[in-house]
Amino acid sequence: MTAVEPPLALLAELTHRCPLRCPYCSNPLELSRASAELDTESWKRVLGEAAVLGVLQVHFSGGEPLVRRDLADLVRHAAEIGLYGNLITSGISLDAGRLAALVEAGLEHVQLSFQDAEMVSGDRIAGLAGAQEAKRRAARLVREAGLPLTVNAVVHRQNLDGLGEMIELAVALGADRLEVAHVQYYGWALRNRAALLPSRDQLDAATVAVEAARARLAGVLVIDYVLPDYYAHRPKACMGGWGRRFLNVTPAGKVLPCHAAETLPALDFPTVAEASLSDIWYRSSAFERFRGTDWMPEPCRSCDRREIDWGGCRCQAFALTGDAARTDPACTLSPDRELLVGARKDADETAPGFVYRQHSAAPGRSPQLVSLME
Ligand code: SF4
Ligand code: SF4
């Protein structure tokens, strides 16, 4: 058994509140209410424990972290204790004053999500009229403030054909990096899988577009792009392996090895009120459960990739097979591979409409976050 290293990064999910309603949202089906969120002092304590544990970066995320009025306080605290602060945001309510406060507090990087390059489609996927215009405005502000900008693009059947335009948009916005992520099918995204899963032809065209853009934009834009699990032969090392690189704290203080792990029913994830991050990282049964290779079934147990991909994603294994301890069906060696291959037939049928989650901000309503701040 290899020694457990400290985590590199903390995903601080400050809230589940969000003005958008993306049909692939990876937040849990049961969202935390605002009244259940950790308060400012608790978050500061968590950040301090993370720094002591060895964490180097904190990603302030959600939901939409801008709905937290104490965001600049938390960014400042992170900077003061030596954590690199990154904001992952939809950008909807970012204005010049708010950004200036965050920069002054020590924010070092912004990741801004875009649902599509094109206005009408972007607003439709986000589930909010005016979202795309607000995002472009936010991107301009970030660049004017001199912060490095990463554009996050979650791609799927209904926007993958526009990936070339998304790349051009990232360049036009002055982004340093474009992270193209295929939808992961658990949580709310699993409900919308038939509407979101791309076809093989779409995927091949997108791969060609990315390779051409990478050559053309070398030194201008870094493009992160990997094949989606449903079309891959081998899984990715999800989060760098369970309990190896990352930890995630939910709005209510639950500590998880990845943001989707709450979908796994049989694991008892401790909260920051019950134990320190260090105790949870090194000693909790939930983090031990799928760490390393001892838990692995065949064919992983005797496979020479077992310490490369760590058996793939536990949440995907559970979503497809009902058992988180199975080999990820994204692997062609998995005995459950047919479950994933069968789902690909959806991509050849007519796409159904999106099933949107009912948040308090409905499409067409003002993107002001007043109701979300309550
Ligand atoms: S921006 Fe979209 S994916 Fe992110 S939390 Fe909001 S609804 Fe979910
Ligand atoms: S059998 Fe397991 S360890 Fe081997 S490639 Fe497949 S998922 Fe990875």
Residue 229's SS3 state is: helix
pLDDT of residue 55: 98
Q: Report residue 32 CA to chain centroid gap.
A: 17
Model confidence at 360: pLDDT above 80: no
- Residue to probe by mutation, ligand 1, list 13, 16, 21, 25, most atoms within 8 Å of CB: 25
Task: Count Cβ atoms below 10 Å from residue 4 Cβ, excluding itself.
Answer: 15
pLDDT of residue 26: 84
Mean pLDDT of the residues in the chain: 92
Handedness of CA 86, 9, 260, 29 (dihedral sign): negative
pLDDT, tens only, 165-192: 999 999 999 999 999 999 988 878 888 9
For the CA of 18, the closest atom of ligand 1 is 6
Mean pLDDT, to the nearest integer, of 302-318?
96
pLDDT, tens only, 32-56: 899 999 999 999 999 999 999 999 9
HSE on the CB side for 67, CA within 13 Å? 27
CB-based pocket (< 6 A), ligand 2? 234-235, 299-300, 303, 305-306, 309, 311-312, 327-328, 331, 333
Tell how far the Cα of 31 is from the centroid of ligand 2, in angstroms. 33
Instruction: For residue 74, give every residue at least 6 positions away whose Cβ sits within 8 Å of its Cβ, in sequence order, or none.
Output: 12, 14, 40, 43, 44, 47, 60, 68
Model confidence at 58: pLDDT above 60: yes
pLDDT of residue 370: 30
pLDDT of residue 1: 58
354 Ramachandran zone, left/alpha/beta (phi>0; psi -120 to 50): beta
Tell how far the Cα of 235 is from the centroid of ligand 2, in angstroms. 7
Cα torsion through 9, 182, 66, 54, rounded to 10: 0
Instruction: For residue 49, give every residue at least 6 positions away whose Cβ sits within 8 Å of its Cβ, in sequence order, or none.
Output: 272, 276, 277, 278
Which pLDDT band holds residue 359 (cuts at 50, 70, 90)?
low
pLDDT above 70: percentage of residues in the chain: 95
Tell how far the Cα of 180 is from the centroid of ligand 1, in angstroms. 15
Distance between CA atoms of residues 69 and 15, nearest Å: 11
Q: Which comes out higher in pLDDT, residue 367 or 28? A: 28
Model confidence at 374: pLDDT above 50: no
Tell how far the Cα of 36 is from the centroid of ligand 1, in angstroms. 19
Token pair in block for residue 357: 């989650």
pLDDT of residue 292: 95
**Which H or E run includes 111?**
strand 109-114
For the CA of 127, the closest atom of ligand 1 is 7
pLDDT, tens only, 197-253: 999 999 999 999 999 999 999 999 999 998 888 899 999 998 999 999 999 999 999
Residue 195's SS3 state is: helix
Mean pLDDT, to the nearest integer, of 347-368?
64
Model confidence at 88: pLDDT above 50: yes
Model confidence at 263: pLDDT above 90: no
Place of tokens 């990820």: 328
Tell how far the Cα of 20 is from the centroid of ligand 1, in angstroms. 6
